[in-house]
Chains A and B, each alone.
Chain A
Amino acid sequence: MATINLSETSRTPGWYATFITRLRRNVPFTVGLGILWLAAVVVVAIFADQIRPYDITAMDLSSRLSRPGVLKHLLGTDELGRDVLSRLLQSVRVSLIIAFGATILSAVFGTALGFAAAQFRGAVEHLVLVLADFQAALPFLIMSLAVLAFFGSSMVLLVCLMGFYGWERYARIARGLAISASSQGYAASVVQLGATPARVYFHHILPNVASMLIVSMTLTFPEIILMESGLSFLGLGVQPPETSLGNMVGFGREYLTRAPWIMLAPSVVIMLTTLSISIVGDWLRDKLDPTLS
């Protein structure tokens, strides 16, 4: 009996405390804050419909441009009496959905092109390089401006367009890594065993280059958030009545003198989010990529 008691008492100070101390040792304080903020943002994005106090288009004309800090409208209201907090929560959701969709699109597209260049070489490789040169020659914002203005902005087009952002980075990484991987033993041996190129790339090479691709996703993600909010700020991204972080800043700009809170609330969210992603991303990069010091 005594032995059982002993083992139980030695375990009870147990998992929670050790988890915390381990966490403290492995995760720096700022990184922890960043992770917390990002987790909160994701939760908000998922449950935006449930937690926002008002509908985003619900107008309360009796309390237009009311100051923040009042219980009824915690972050104040805009020029039509719409609740800034509710719109902010919805904006977080919209901006995050666009950024997620676009990051995944551009990772898939870029990686596929990079692998294609590595597999076929020759003309395909030259074509990919020319496309990358083209992307480098025309700033993304300018290209998007032209496309969005002439095709009209829609959510689908916006995500697809943003999905081209940064593809050349993935393509370059995927191509370089695939070329070096195919000269290594493991790829050659599965080819000898009769694997199709698709199997070699997706089952053997992709898992080996995944960490580098994840690292570049942490770079692309905040840039896409900034790009989307920049476009929305210029009035060419997300269109009203839908709202996004950049869109809120853009419209809040009209009321900069009388109601700065309309524009400050989304600005702070953009800043904290991109800051958190780059802090957490830097940390992740050091953890995942042993070649960087």
Chain B
Amino acid sequence: MFEQWSLFVLAFMGFVFLGFLIYLLGNRKSVKEEMKFETYTCGEPFPKVSVSTENFYHAIKRALGVKDLRSYHSGKLSDYLMWIVIGTVIVVLLMVIWV
């Protein structure tokens, strides 16, 4: 099943190395033109930012409707038990119908 695996791994590592080389070359060039960055952002100092975990993939969450999915996980034991009963009925019914 994995006859050509080593070839694949070698090729993958080769591409990673190539990518690293390109990154190094690109990085060296960007250091020389460091001032250009400030002009691009209209001269103002660029603040060091990081995305809050709360806001990570906010757009995706809204698009996929994950928030609706989350509302079914209320943390209440009675809700969990309801899901278990529903699930069991479905499994038993499907098993009987399936055969």
Q: Are A and B associated in one complex?
A: no
